[in-house]
Structure 1
Amino acid sequence: MAEDLLQPPKNGKTLEEVGYEYFNDLASRSFFQRFGSGNHSRIFVMHDLVHDLATLIGAEFYFRTEKLGNETKIGNKTCHLAFNKLSDPVTDNFEIFDRARYLRTFWTIDYRPTPFNNEKALCIVLSNLKCLRVLSFQRFSNLDTLPDSIGELIHLRYLDLSSTTIKTLPESVCNLHNLQTFKLYYCDQLTKLPNGMQKLVSLRYLDIRLTLKLEDMPREMSKLNHLQHLSYFLVGKHKEKGIKELGTLSNLHGSLSISKLENVTDNFEASQAKIMEKKYLEKLSFKWSDNAKDQFTNSQSDMDILDKLQPAKNLKKVSICGYRGTRFPEWVGDPSYHNLTELYLSDCHNCCILPPLGQLRSLKKLRISRMSMLETIASEYGDSFSGIIFPSLERGDSFSGIIFPSLERLQFDNMPCWEVWHHPHDSNAYFPVLKFLKISGCPLLRGDLPSHLPALETIQIEQCDQLAFSLPWALAIRRLEIRRNNKVMLRELPLSLEEIEIQGRDTTKSFFEIIAITLPISLKIVKFEDCSSSFPGDCLPASLLSLSIINCKNIDFLKQKQHHESLQWLYIDSSCDSLTIFPLETFPNLGSLDIHKCENLECISASKILQNLNDIFITNCPKLVSFARDGLPAPNLRKLFVFSCVNLKSSPCHANTLLPKLEYLSI
């Protein structure tokens, strides 16, 4: 059966289809069957027997070792070799390759780089192992080049050079006519692929994700008509490297990112890519370069080009970045895209109107970023004068459905001109399942947020200086984050709130006022920055587990001498100038204490045994002189770090008896 897999497929079937048939046949005849039902279902008891039998029969063909070197005991029948690292230093020759000349697999597993000459080791491997089918040099550090002898591995099916520093590939790679998988993921120094890549007629999988310095594609990629996975395509200016080369690649699966779309000359050339016919693609990304010239003069051309790049209807994810048109083509937001779950629009600087997106019934994630011309997002299910995020209907029509029925995450980033966000009158007709809302870098946005978001769990508002809002009605809200906003004033806190992070004088002050009146019973994490008000320390909720205070010079939350029983993690940075003695006994269940730049702190005291204290970090406290006179009774303390406390006179007294579990000490 295995030998049949090496033969050309019959009856018009692909290799993948033949493989699925064999796998299903083997699974149906194996001992790996479950019996029972529900929670009592177990693997059949013969599993261990089959495993032992496979190990007994296959042991002489498969070898795995932690460290590969001359001393490795490997047999001459071994076909498959896996290892974690190579021995150091590399000798002139690996004797093991004399014993294993018929290796089919040379495979790295969680490879740990070692400081030796990779190129020398590579040459040794390639010169000895001529029968290889699978070769992996993944994560080989300092692997800059491949020797020309790579082209002699004519049986190779799988080549993985991911996460290496390789800069060039020899043209001899194109002699690997049987190569089916070529992985170059995160080769961030690679600038060029071999010109003769079209000779790899068996290639099915080419992964060049995060190969960011790649300048263009090889010519005539259209000849790789067996290609099923192409993660990345850069449109070149030359016709043999243009977007039409995608036209014959009708069997592409998974995700495809198309970059440098500014090199597409017109909509006819775009139509030759035949994106609509690629029905197996699930994720598509369209990207124009940031430095593309003629941002405005090419606006209509880009609109026509993007229109001709319309994808098939079963697409799940779409990203459009750097688009220069003034509006989007009709297919963006077309409700017939029933499977679309994620949509990202960014750096579309000429667009002043958003497409109608509210009827995408499966859309779960929507992110709109850096749309510098957008001023208004409209209401009333469509107004022609403004950016429209809701369905655009003709006058006199009505829309009775729910807008964004599946949307869970909504995010707006860096929208410098956005001023107004209108909301539909019927608050129950939109965002019924929205869980996450983030608005960041929108300095002109004013008004209020949507008032009715019943499923909302997280709100993040950052750098929106004009936005003054009340919290939406949301029974499920768990996290609230407000950073660098001058006008946001909190009027209430939901009882369900578990985590709050706020930055800014006025917002923090309003939080202090509210927390003194209505205390959230579920609040567990509090972090605030840049506040000049006094903190009502006696109002800390009993549920609080973590407290962070950053750049709040006037805060003194210890003046009430109240015990904070629940607090487990405390972080103070550039705050609490009035604090001179820190009483650890105030926090009987504290597990971690971090104090940084507390200018007047003189002493850390402890009058009670601190059973839960594990870590103490104290840095840049210039007046710190001592710890508790009687020592620091923390029997479970493991880490104690004290840095840049220039007046410290001694470490904690009786450390050998009071700190029996101390593992790390640095002063």
Structure 2
Amino acid sequence: MAEALLGIVIQNLQSFGQDQLATFWGVDKQTLKLSSNLSAIRAVLRDAERKQITSHAVKDWLQKLTDAAYVLDDILDECSIHFTKMHSDDGHTSCLSRLHPSDILFRFNIGKRMEDITQRFHDIHEEKSKFNLEPGVTEVVQTVDDDWRQTSSDITEPVVYGRDHDRHVEVEDVGDKVWKKLYRRSFFEEAKSDEFGIIRSFKMHDLFHDLAQSIMGEECMVIEKGSWTPLSTRVHYLANFNKYVDMPASMQFMTAFKKVESLRTFLNFGTMGQLPSNNCLRALCTTSSLFSRLNDVRHLRYLSLSWSSVAILDNTICQLPKLQTLKLEYYPQISELPKDLTQLQDLRHIVINYCALLQEMPANIGKLRHLRTLSFFSVGSKPGCGLAELHSLNLGGELSIRGLKNVSSEWDAKQANLIDKKDLNILHLSWDGDANSEGSNVSEEIVLEALQPPSTLKSFGINGYQGRQLSSWMRNTAVLRDLVNVTLFNCDNCEELPPLGKLPYLKSLYVSGMKNVKCIDGESYDGGEDKAFPSLEKLNVQNLPNLERLLRDEGVEMLPCLSRLTINGVFNLKIPHLPSAKELDASRIDEAASFIEGVGENMACLKTLKISSIKGVKTLPDQLGMLDALERYLQFDKWFRW
């Protein structure tokens, strides 16, 4: 840990000197002395990290080194922020700006802090002689791959002064490779993936966790439920899970917090009356109401805010020049994002979940040229709010586009350039209203045709589409081939669905609100395909009043893997042979007698059956007696005989 951190600090210090910022701030002598001491210390770090396991003195020395490295990194980051703030629009620094009282004061403070930290590293350098540490002693016997040493130091991103910020993408790739390597070596375990194969959770092996906790010592702390843990001044990473607020203990905790020298991460999953004021934070997870009370968190790279009833997000977010990740969740009333959000040129990820009323995006979001994740985008009618803003963004992960009724032209739809966004996994398209509403003069069929996604999608959803015909790319199995999940919702005028039965990896299908559809798959099977819906496990069909059958061609084997079937508002469906189905939830069915007979005859493996709100049944059909596999329950509710 110390070696990786020190490597980054040395790299930042070199950049600080090469870009003449040290001279600009009048600290070039301290910078040279720091570089010399840090290089000498770094040479013996591997030996020190090995010896700390048996020597408390070495471990304490490493902790002093780590604490000092964080402080130096804070100073360099502060210089970077202030230098950027002083820059004029033409890329040069005004000479007059050096004479501004605030800049004179900043130079004085930085000079004093650099003197202090230089002396601190000098003392650490002198102290290392007590331990007889040898340079590079473990290089020959080290069993960890050399690239691990190199890439581990890349995980903590260096400060970049006027250079290409796309290095962050490389760091993310490195992080993914490192995680996979650690998982193969059982450092992590119990990884759980979603239906698209994306790992959502995992845990550290107990032995590695205990070892890491022992090595990290006071640097990393967790406040467990029901207790306020005494806080060390050396803590750098803190998570709070305590939901019980005891005011005396809380006040004592806040007082201790003021003595913490360089807190980097604070994850607040509990309840606190207020957040500690610490301007060194790089990562913060909390509620919006607590965040708005903070005065200075300009070093933040990661900000996660959740559970708030505010309608407009606090504009102070736009005063975080280093912010790279913004995550907003559970804001049921929020309607717009801060207008100045595009000032945050370092933003890479904007993740928005469960913000149902959000309708307006900041204008010109395409200016965030480093953006790699934009989970939500709402098309607006104002300049700079159209789909063209997505054109040059190299987006990946999930993208949900709302407000497609506001698309102004076919050109604007094509400018979204979705087909070239090869890293997209999940795409949702929503019209949110009637076709050709005010502000739109282009048909929805043309818009949908222009929004062809890459063929690498795992999940696709469409909502509120009022066109009669689906796009040509939606009928092309080469485009849809990798889909695992499909949702088609309230496409009222569509008469046919895509050839979903021919998708080899499709596991989940939800179809609702399509009054003209008579079959889920209207394709013909000429014998080339062995099965229809070969991988489908969950099928949910709702409000399809004219649906008669699942396949037009039911002579082919279908749904061999189907486990769960949900039917609601489908009046005349005939149940085909479904040999593997284990759960059935059916409601709002008119011709229920024949439906229930079909269930008994064609779903022999059924374990759970729930039928409600049906008509036309006076007695239970004898065929239900054929369901020998029923285990959990047989539930009937709201039956109507007429």
User: Aligned pair 1:369/2:512, yes or no?
Assistant: yes
Q: Which residue of 1 aligns with 2:254?
A: 94
CA distance in 1, matches of 2:510, 2:369: 34
TM-superposed CA distance for 1:518, in Å, is: 6.6
Q: How many residues align?
A: 463
The C-alpha deviation readout for 1:232-260, integer Å capped at 9, x for no partner, is 1111111211111111211x222111001
457-466 vs 339-348, which deviates more?
Answer: 457-466
The aligned counterpart of 1:351 is 494
Of the three residues 548, 553, 575, the one matched with 1:449 is: 575
Return the letter of the residue paired with 1:459. L
Rounded to whole Å, the distance in 2 between the matches of 1:53 and 1:422 is 56
| Maintained 8 Å contact 2:157/2:168 | no
Aligned residue in 2 for 1:520: 628
State how far apart, in whole Å, the 2-side matches of 1:31 and 1:53 are.
18
What's the offset of the Cα at 1:285?
0.4
In structure 2, C-alpha distance between the alignment counterparts of 1:434 and 1:246, rounded to whole Å = 38
Q: Taking structure 1 as reference, are residues 474 and 428 closer, same or farther at Cα in structure 2, changes over 3 Å only? A: farther
Query: Partner amino acid for 2:171?
Result: V
CA displacement, residues 36-78 of structure 1 (integer Å, 9 cap, x when unaligned): xxxxxxxxxxx98876664444223223324799x86323322
The answer to whether residue 625 in structure 2 is matched with residue 510 in structure 1 is no
Does 2:329 match 1:185? yes
Alignment of 1:431-446 (within 5 A): 431-443=559-571, 445=572
Contact 1:299 1:324 in 2 (8 A): no
1:134 maps to 283
Structure 1 stretches lacking a partner, 5+ long: 35-46, 378-387, 488-504, 534-667
Which structure 2 segments of 5+ residues have no match?
Answer: 9-155, 188-204
Q: TM-score, normalised by structure 2?
A: 0.64
Counterpart for residue 58 of structure 1: 216
Give the whole-Å Cα distance in 2 for the aligned partners of 1:182 and 1:62: 23
Change (3 A) 1:278 1:402: same
**What is the rounded CA distance, in whole Å, between the counterparts of 2:400 and 2:517 in structure 1?**
29
What value does the CA root-mean-square deviation take over the aligned residues? 3.7
Quote the offset at 1:531 in angstroms: 7.3
Name the counterpart of 1:17: 170
Return the match for 1:412 from 527, 541, 546: 541
Distance in 1 between residues matched to 2:366 and 2:290, nearest whole Å: 29
Letter in 2 for 1:465: D
- Aligned equivalents of 1:60 and 1:76: distance in 2? 8
User: Aligned residue for 1:108?
Assistant: 268
Map of 1:128-527 to 2, 5 A cutoff? 128-138=277-287, 143=289, 146-147=292-293, 150=295, 152-250=296-394, 252-290=395-433, 292=434, 294=436, 301-336=443-478, 337-372=480-515, 374=516, 376-377=518-519, 389-391=521-523, 401-416=530-545, 418=546, 420-421=548-549, 423-424=551-552, 427-443=555-571, 445=572, 448-450=574-576, 452-467=577-592, 468-469=594-595, 470-471=598-599, 472-487=601-616, 506=618, 509-511=619-621, 520=628, 523-527=631-635
Question: SS of the counterpart of 1:258?
Answer: strand
Measure the CA separation in 2 of the matches of 1:159 and 1:412.
Answer: 39
Instruction: Tell me if the contact between 1:334 and 1:357 (Cα under 8 Å) persists in the aligned partners.
Output: no
Contact kept in structure 1, 2:612 and 2:638, CA below 8 Å = no
CA distance in 1, matches of 2:490, 2:210: 58
Q: Greater CA deviation, 185-194 or 517-526?
A: 517-526
Higher relative contact order (CA 8 A, sep 6+): 2
Alpha-carbon distance change, 221 to 92 in structure 1, aligned in 2, over 3 angstroms: farther
What TM-score, normalized to structure 1? Answer: 0.62
Secondary structure of the residue that 1:184 maps to in structure 2? Answer: strand
Q: Distance in 2 between matches of 1:245 and 1:510?
A: 59
Question: Aligned residue for 1:77?
Answer: 234
1:79 positional shift: 1.8
Residues of 2 paired with 1:190 and 1:77: CA distance?
A: 38
| Identity of matched residues, % | 29
Is the contact between residue 231 and residue 253 of structure 2 (CA under 8 Å) also seen in structure 1?
no
Aligned residue identity for 2:170:
E
Tell me whether 8-17 or 319-328 shows the greater mean CA deviation.
8-17
Distance 1:51 1:209, change over 3 A: closer
Higher alpha-carbon Rg: 1
Distance of 1:303 and 1:312 partners within structure 2: 19
Offset at residue 314 of structure 1 (A): 0.8
8 Å CA contact 2:298–2:320 kept in 1: the answer is yes
Worse overlay, 426-435 or 76-85: 426-435
Instruction: For 2:438 and 2:368, locate their aligned partners in 1 and report how far apart those are by CA, in whole Å.
Output: 36
Q: Aligned pair in 2 of structure 1 residues 370, 65: CA closer, same or farther (>3 Å)?
A: same
In structure 2, distance between residues paired with 1:465 and 1:520: 26
Tell me by how many angstroms 1:370 deviates. Answer: 0.8
Aligned partners of 1:298 and 1:324 also within 8 Å: no
Residue pair 1:285, 1:318 contacting (<8 A) in 2 also:
yes
Relative to structure 1, the CA distance from residue 420 to residue 300 in structure 2 (aligned partners, 3 Å threshold; closer, same or farther) is: farther
Q: What residue identity is the alignment partner of 1:464?
A: I
8 Å Cα contact 1:463/1:485 also seen in 2: yes
Instruction: Give the Å deviation of 1:324.
Output: 1.3
Measure the CA separation in 2 of the matches of 1:27 and 1:425: 44
Q: 1:51 to 1:332 in 2, by over 3 A?
A: closer
